[in-house]
Chain A
């Protein structure tokens, strides 16, 4: 490849990086503006909006609520996702492909359709809109991601490990708990954080399945509809920093796992 094309390609890459980052950087900057009015130019700077955020009980409770939903739904997704991955990693059976396809289904259904189908389904089971319904919908939505990440790790588990355990008298349950599960650890950390982030960021499902208590994205949406304010920028910046850092960590864990750098 010639030098010339290489240069053009790298310029396109950096332009793309700018496209991705500039809006976020502008949004962060606006959170330090000493005025109620969103827009450039910024003449004086302040940290007041951050103080405001940490005093705003509505924001804090929405944050806690989103965390609660994220953790609970992630735990469910992990159990189900591991179970399905173990099944699919095992011996062949009729309908294996179908189970695989159906497992991936929630990841392919467009957001709005997923949200309202669960709204209707919750009605069928008599589950009122609110915490339970959101956790349930988030858990189902995240199962495919857990399954894929766990299955990728599971496929690299040497069969000799499990054989050794069986030879030494471990039954399948003990072998799973003491050999398979520890081996899956990087996949569980990575997958778990992904689920947490997807759940924490989710708007459309929480919006249609929520009760009176808003999750953080739903609260930000409601605030946005009544007008932009630098306080929203401050909230968004806090969310951005937290999710960004967690995302990097999870991404690193799973990528290194796939490259085989992480041994159990």
Chain B
């Protein structure tokens, strides 16, 4: 490390021609030439004349970027949800209206998918938590530290494969001629295939398959941080395995549960291709409803925008409420 500092010190010194010979040769060639050039001098003098100016330049671009690129699309969508036409055809006067929102509450074909999506997302979040908690616990507490990365990587590989490919894999697993049906038939449990596909079941299997990682990773890092001495102390004081879990491990991993659940909940409300491919008419989710307004030739973007706003605001409100609840629980634990 210190050797590194010295070499870089030598080359940096060379830049300004401080007389170090090795630096002179290396530095002058490229960086030194740039730093000494008239053009760069003018440029850097203009930009870096005072610490204040340096900071303003450092600050300006990120502020501009997050406002226009991160917040801008959401604000524009919010605005469009209150107008009667968008994109506006020439010569048409845009009107302010609440109709787009009124349309939602007026019809069961819109309200149903909305609540179905929320209920679905909440149920699947819980299911994912129950499924991945033991896995994360095993990884963090029972696998040797030096092996943990290999065990974790094993689970991470498939998650780098996209939504479509993994959805397709589930289609092959659950199809009428799929592996599950074949296995059941071979075992003599069924005569004709069970129609798993295009139901709430196939959609649930698919979505859990897609989002398990977002739960697993926060849980793993929360459990990994938890010192083993805590449970050992509890054991010394006579607590059995269940008591140790309920009174020590679970309360102290609330932070991981909180962030994992929030992520999975928000992400699973936004899947579009998976419900289209794995779901059926009885499982239409709100993402499909929203998307419908952007496919049709008619100008229905404002309605789509209003529906998207409703979805996002509701999902965010639920997540925030859940987050607050978890923080309160955590505070209770610390007392």
Chain A interface residues toward B at CB < 8 A: 1-2, 5-6, 9-10, 12-13, 16-17, 19-24, 26-27, 30, 37-41, 80, 83-84, 86-87, 90-91, 93, 99, 102-103, 105-106, 108-121, 123-124, 140, 143, 160-161, 164-165, 168-174, 178-179, 197, 200-204, 207-208, 217, 220-221, 224-225, 228, 232-233, 236, 239-240, 243-244, 246-248, 251-252, 255, 263-264
Chain B interface residues toward A at CB < 8 A: 1, 4-5, 8-9, 11-13, 15-16, 18, 31, 35, 44, 47-48, 54-55, 58-59, 61-63, 65-67, 69-74, 76-77, 80, 86-87, 131-132, 134-135, 137-139, 141-142, 149, 151, 153-166, 168-173, 175-179, 182, 209, 212, 241, 263, 266-267, 269-273, 277, 287, 290-291, 294, 301, 304-305, 308, 311-312, 315
Q: Which residue of A lies closest to B69 (CB)?
A: A140
Q: Could you say which residues of chain A place their CB within 8 Å of the CB of B62?
A: 80, 83-84, 87, 99, 103
Identify which of A16, A99, A143 contacts B132 (C-beta below 8 A): A16
Are B162 and A200 in contact, CB atoms less than 8 angstroms apart? Answer: yes
Listed A/B pairs (9) with beta-carbon separation below 8 Å: A40-B178, A110-B267, A113-B77, A113-B308, A113-B311, A140-B69, A201-B160, A201-B164, A228-B168
- A172 and B72 CA atoms in complex are apart in Å by 31
Are A38 and B172 in contact, CB atoms less than 8 angstroms apart? Answer: yes
Are B48 and A171 in contact, CB atoms less than 8 angstroms apart? Answer: yes
Are A111 and B142 in contact, CB atoms less than 8 angstroms apart? Answer: no
Are B48 and A173 in contact, CB atoms less than 8 angstroms apart? Answer: yes
Q: Which residue of A lies closest to B1 (CB)?
A: A263
Q: A140-B69, A173-B47 are in contact. Are A9 and B290 (CB under 8 A)?
A: no
- A26 and B166 CA atoms in complex are apart in Å by 11
Q: Which residue of A lies closest to B135 (CB)?
A: A16
- B306, chain A: closest CB distance, angstroms: 11
Are A110 and B312 in contact, CB atoms less than 8 angstroms apart? Answer: yes
Identify which of A12, A16, A26, A168 contacts B155 (C-beta below 8 A): A16
Are B160 and A244 in contact, CB atoms less than 8 angstroms apart? Answer: yes
- B28, chain A: closest CB distance, angstroms: 14
- A100 and B149 CA atoms in complex are apart in Å by 29
Q: Could you say which residues of chain B place their CB within 8 Å of the CB of A172?
A: 48, 54
